[in-house]
Amino acid sequence: MSGGSYWRPQDMTADTQQYFAHDPESLSREKAFRVDWKGRSFSFITDNGVFSKGELDTGTAVLLNALPESFSGRLLDLGCGWGPVGVLAGAGWPQARVTMADVNPRALALARRNAEQNGVQAEAVLSDGFDNLEGSFDLIALNPPIRAGKETVYRLFLEAAEHLSPNGALCIVIRKQQGAPSAQKYLSGLFHSVQTIARKGGYHVFQCEGSNHHAV
């Protein structure tokens, strides 16, 4: 995968350049908004220094639409940001055990608040990848932090493969121009099965099953 298929420094804005950082430097400026999802209206709070401030981004919407209608296992929203996957999926899966994890403390605090104000029970864990996460997960949902670079993104893929339950699945959304073909090739070395389960607007959702790298 060429560097040009990822990001260029000039693409970054003052509000988003630190969304994958341990300690975002941008000035806090919270914003409240609503998301209508599957016949329900949800209230969210976002802020500067988090990914997709103020709206549900297209990639995450494509990922959410590709997830199963029902699920009752252990869900990890990896790189949760302000929590749209954990909250919206968790609201539709009342039997699921939801964990939301992010390296960004500002984003994680928002995710925790958003879960609470929408009545979703979820554990929120400050973690760089899986550093502070325990056990295995039955479903891991990931909209990878492309701007953090290929090395970071591929590390998350590998760590996710190591922390899936034997029958678990990793669902990833990534744009074609941001490296989807190369990512699919790399994922094929980590899993027995990598299937494209959704395509929309240049976004691909890969469902990865049969991990070759169980570590927990």
List residues bridging with 76 in a β-sheet. Answer: 99, 140
* Model confidence band, residue 18 (pLDDT cutoffs 50, 70, 90): very low
Task: Please state, as a whole number, how many other Cβ atoms lie within 10 Å of the Cβ of residue 100.
Answer: 31
Token couple for 151:
């090395």
50, 161 Cβ separation under 8 angstroms: no
CATH class of the 58-211 domain in this structure: alpha beta
Provide the residue ranges of all domains of the chain, joining segments of one domain with +: 58-211
Q: What is the mean pLDDT of residues 14-19?
A: 43
- Among positive and negative, which fits the CA dihedral 7, 89, 32, 111? negative
Phi/psi at 46 (nearest 5 deg)? -125, -175
Q: Is the pLDDT of residue 10 over 70?
A: no
Mean pLDDT for all residues in the chain: 88
* Burial status of residue 156 (CB atoms within 10 A of its CB: 0-12, 13-18, 19 or more): buried
